Amino acid sequence: MTKAHIWLRAESKPLEERIALTPDVARKLLEAGFKITVEESPLSAIPAQEYQGIGCDIVPAHSWQQAPQDTIILGLKELSEDNWPLVHRHIHFAHVYKEQQGWQDVLRRFKTGKGELYDLEYLVDNNNRRVAAFGYWAGFAGAAVALKAFGKRQQLDSTAQTDQPVLDKLASMPSKQALVDDVAESLSPLARPPKVLVIGAKGRSGRGAVEMAKSVGAEVTQWDMAETQVGGPFEDILDFDVLVNCVFVQEALPPFITLPMLETNGIEPRRLAIICDVSCDPYGTYNPLPIYASCTTFDKPCLRIIEGAIPST
């Protein structure tokens, strides 16, 4: 007897190569009596043929809208921005419960269609701990991009090429070690290792960021609840080269840093050069880094927030 029908949809977000269900786990679900349908996707890191080989049904991308109403639609990131009602049960990161941009429209679609949302960010066990989180690798990759950007910016500043983009388009890497080697190469011309501050260092993403920074020889300082409980802003942040914010925010907090703090006074150069916001909630009211109003992309991974000199290496 089939327990339930799980439909693994193709992601709509550009360059999203991750996938919410691996063939190994899909095989276990099939053996347990689930029916699994997998959409073809030109973006997915795992080709549909690997699922077909173990007994999953393969269908065209974005065809889940025609799935039977009792089907569970599984994905990772947000759905495309349409307005038709959602009638299925959905499992993914919806990015709505912190009142992010467009949250009302998304929830209205569920209400109108009488569908249900099981948001991966808020699924917890009996101990109230999250059961589905990609935080470690988010922190690891975020810190990698930040450190690569720091190395590139130092080189551009030293040659007065301040009009050049700090980083070109990002691409996936074949392995963890390949990413570490790539970042280490970017930092190799520098005269000193960068000073990195990771806020939320004891969480999943924080641990990933710390490991990445240490793996390339950065000087890492770790802040968590004990260091931030007094409330910001924190002037000490300006003493670091790179800030990586990995705090899982569930309520409004005093800002960690503000735009006026980043302004140079014309006498002392600002040391802080790169800010990586792994938590990334610029459109919500809970954002502890209210210094930017739009997100970066894989095509344009760096956003200049404010002008100002930094020490040469």
Q: Determine how β-strand 242-245 pairs with β-strand 195-199.
A: parallel
Q: Which amino acid is at 18?
A: R
The span from the CA of 215 to the CA of 77, in Å, is 29
Catalytic residue (choose from 77, 176, 202, 300)? 77
Q: Yes or no: say if 9 and 72 are a contact pair by the CB < 8 Å rule.
A: no
Calculate ∠ Cα 294-299-304, nearest 5°.
45
The span from the CA of 215 to the CA of 231, in Å, is 30
Has 176 been annotated as catalytic? no
The span from the CA of 116 to the CA of 102, in Å, is 18
Dihedrals phi, psi of 38, to nearest 5 degrees = -125, 130
The span from the CA of 139 to the CA of 211, in Å, is 9
Q: Which amino acid is at 217?
A: G
The span from the CA of 117 to the CA of 78, in Å, is 11
- Tokens in use for 151? 């190395």
Q: Which amino acid is at 181?
A: D
Element (H, E) at 154: helix 135-158
DSSP secondary structure letters along 254-276: --S--HHHH---SSSPP---EEE
Q: Yes or no: say if 145 and 276 are a contact pair by the CB < 8 Å rule.
A: yes
Question: CB-based contacts of 49: which residues, under 8 Å, 6+ apart?
Answer: 58
Catalytic residue (choose from 95, 98, 148, 152)? 95
The span from the CA of 80 to the CA of 46, in Å, is 21
Has 13 been annotated as catalytic? no
Catalytic residues: 77, 95
